[in-house]
Structures are given as structure tokens and as C-alpha cells.
Structure 1
Amino acid sequence: MLEQGLANVGPRRAEAIVAYRRQHGPFLRVEDLTRVKGIGTATVERNRQRMTAGIRTMPAGEPPRKEAPRSVPRR
């Protein structure tokens, strides 16, 4: 899906981004994508508004979402 949302990122570069992330962990800054072979500063700048980086966490005070409990049938 990366290749569909980012300019100048085709399937090969998208695979390189995913492989790099699997090996090294999440990108902490958008600029860190330049460490991936084939992704330069021009590509990052062209796509800056479409990208996010960092470890996603739940906002403070919000409990994790759980499935609603099922009702128990009455006898």
C-alpha cells in the first residue's frame, strides 16, 4: 500500500521500506527513511505531508478497546 500513497515509491522501494523497518524497528522521524536504499531527501520532502513516523501509543487516559461482552441467554 505504500506505493499507492507515496510519490516516487514503487513496489520495490515499498518492500525496502518494510524490510528495513522489520530489521531495525519503527522510524522515529520521517527523515530516517533516507536510511533506506533508494529513498533520498527529495523523496522524503515530496511526501512529507503524507508520512508519519514514531511509535504509536494510546493517548493517556484512554483504556485499550475491548470487545463488548456477550449477553448471557436467559433460561
Structure 2
Amino acid sequence: MDKDKLTGLTGADTVLVHLDLRPAAIIRDLDLLRPVYGQTAACGYFGRDLPVTWERTDRVETLRRTVGAPDGERAA
């Protein structure tokens, strides 16, 4: 399957095509085995400049293109 040529999928289908949701893949993709939790547990991480991988947005444009949303706008 050529993921770059898919268009018009629903949001759920898009997630299933582009994101590997198996537990080991989530741990790998978000680099969850790094020891950053002590820093995030102490007074939270909101407003702090900590390298938290679960806030990355590196896949947003790919997901938008697949559901047919224009770049920089939310899908309906």
C-alpha cells in the first residue's frame, strides 16, 4: 500500500494506516523508555521547556493530506 497516495479516508482510517498502535511501537515511536518522568512529575511540565515526545506534531501534515484537509486547517 502506498501511504502517500491515499486520500479521502476518515480520521480513524487515517490513524490506522499511518500510526502503529501496538504497545511496543508506541513505546518506540514516543521514546517512552527515556528517564524524563522525574522531571515531568516534579511540578508538572506545562510551561516548561522539557523534551516530551508525546507532544510532537511531526505527523500532522501527513494525516491532514490523507483526510483531504488543506494544509494548516482542521478537517471537518
Q: TM-score, length-normalised on structure 1?
A: 0.23
Q: TM-score, length-normalised on structure 2?
A: 0.23
Where relative contact order (Cα < 8 A, 6+ residues apart) is larger, the structure is: 2
Q: If you compute each CA radius of gyration, which structure gives the higher value, 1 or 2? A: 1
